[in-house]
Structures are given as C-alpha cells and as structure tokens.
Amino acid sequence: MISLLWQAILLGLQAGLSPGPVTTMLVTESLRHGRRAGMKIALVPVLTDVPVICIIIPLLYFLTANTAAIIGVISMVGAVLLCYLGIESLTVSKKQFEQNNVPSMSLFKAIGLNVFNPNLYIYWIGICGPICVAALHSGGVQRMLSFILPYYLSLTGAKLAAAFAVGSVRKSLNVNIIVWLNRLLGVSMFLFAVMFFWTGVKIFTGLQPVAGSR
C-alpha cells in the first residue's frame, strides 16, 4: 500500500509539473488574469480525466483494433486547437492586460485542449491504467482508489502551486514583459501542435505504439 501511495504521489507530481499544453495555458492565464484564473486551469485534469477513467479507457481496451486510429484522430484535432490557442497568444496586446474586467473563458478552452490531448489517453493506457487494474485485482476498489486519489491530489496540488506562484509575481512585472511572455508561450503552443500532429502521423503510419508518458 505504501509503495502504491508513493507511486501515486510521484507520478502525480511529475504529471502536474511537467511541461505541456495545459501547464503552458495555466501560466498564460495566470499572467493574463491572475492566480485565480490559473487555479481554475489547475482543476482541468480532474474534470477531464474522470470520464476517461470511467468510460473512455474501458472502451479503448475493448476496441483494441481501433485504439491507434482513435488516438491518432484525437492528436490531429488537438494540434488544430493548439494552433488556435497559439495564434491567440501571439496576437495578444498590451491593451488586453489593462482591461482587468474582461472575463476569462480559459476554463472551457483548457477542458477542450486536455480532451484532445493524446498524451492523456496514452498515459492512462500505458502507465496509470495498468497500475489501477493491478490494484483492482489485488485489493479491490479500495486499493485502486488508494492510487487514484493521491495521484490527483498531488497532480492538482502541483498545478495549484504553480498558478499561485505565477499569479503572485504578475503584478510586479511590467505589462510589456507579460505581453512578450504570452507571445513566447504562444510559440510553445505551436511546438506542442507540431508534436501532437507528428504523434498522429506516427500512429497512423505504425511508427509509434500506443504507450508513453503524459
């Protein structure tokens, strides 16, 4: 049980702090709208992963013949969404940061981004899924939950801490610096889009098996 707990905590911290589209968006929104907006993004994995755990992963296990094609399509759609977010960050202006009353719609964008993140499905099929199945067989639902709950507590905690840190230094930064940081993050969104697209290409061409890390 203790080793399973440490597995959950370490994997959760790795997933929470590793660079990725949602983490990049968390930093972007924390800079634009403050730490509260960033903290909303930190909760996205919990909102999007629950349906994956409960519905999508079991379906993918049953549809093993079509698993690669499904994740390939998800990768392509995710690449398009990342391009849209990249353009949005690249075209940001100083005026937008001076209009503090503008509401953020980032939560819905982040949910869509994570839903179409192929690494979410690859991660659960290749890493967390097998751990949960093994825990379920050895100790039932209680043992499986002893992995899932600490995993999401550490993942969400890491992202909340990142949002709090970035949002706290936001007011001390010059607006021009924030604008250019957003544009830099926009470029990184395009890089992630290329990675998503290439993942889809490799899956469709049989160059990449459906296994990996988030």
- pLDDT for residue 176 is more than 80: no
CA–chain centroid gap for 21, Å, is: 6
Model-level pTM greater than 0.85?
no
Nearest one of 201, 129, 156, 154 to 41, comparing CA atoms: 156
Predicted local confidence at residue 157, as pLDDT: 94
∠ Cα 135 18 79 (to 5°): 100
- Give the residue with greater pLDDT, 184 vs 177: 184
CA–chain centroid gap for 210, Å, is: 18
Residues 189-202 pLDDT 10s: 888 889 889 888 88
3-state secondary structure of 93: coil
**Residues 187, 188, 189, 194: is their CA dihedral positive or negative?**
positive
Residues 111-157 pLDDT 10s: 988 888 888 887 787 778 878 878 877 888 899 899 999 999 999 99
* End-to-end Cα spacing for the chain: 24
Q: With bands split at pLDDT 50, 70 and 90, how would you rate the model's confidence at 206?
A: confident
Predicted local confidence at residue 101, as pLDDT: 46
With a pLDDT cut of 90, the percent of the chain lying above it is: 12
Q: With bands split at pLDDT 50, 70 and 90, how would you rate the model's confidence at 8?
A: very high
Q: Provide the token pair at 60.
A: 């993918």
Across 145-172, average pLDDT? 89
18, 214 Cβ separation under 8 angstroms: yes
Cβ contacts of 63-70, under 8 Å, gap ≥ 24: 67/125, 67/210, 68/203, 68/204, 68/206, 68/210, 69/203, 69/204, 70/121
Nearest one of 213, 207, 186, 200 to 78, comparing CA atoms: 200
Predicted local confidence at residue 41, as pLDDT: 92
- pLDDT for residue 66 is more than 80: no
Residues 67-121 pLDDT 10s: 667 778 878 888 888 898 788 778 877 665 555 544 456 788 889 888 888 888 8
176, 63 Cβ separation under 8 angstroms: no
What is the CB neighbour count within 10 angstroms for residue 56? 18
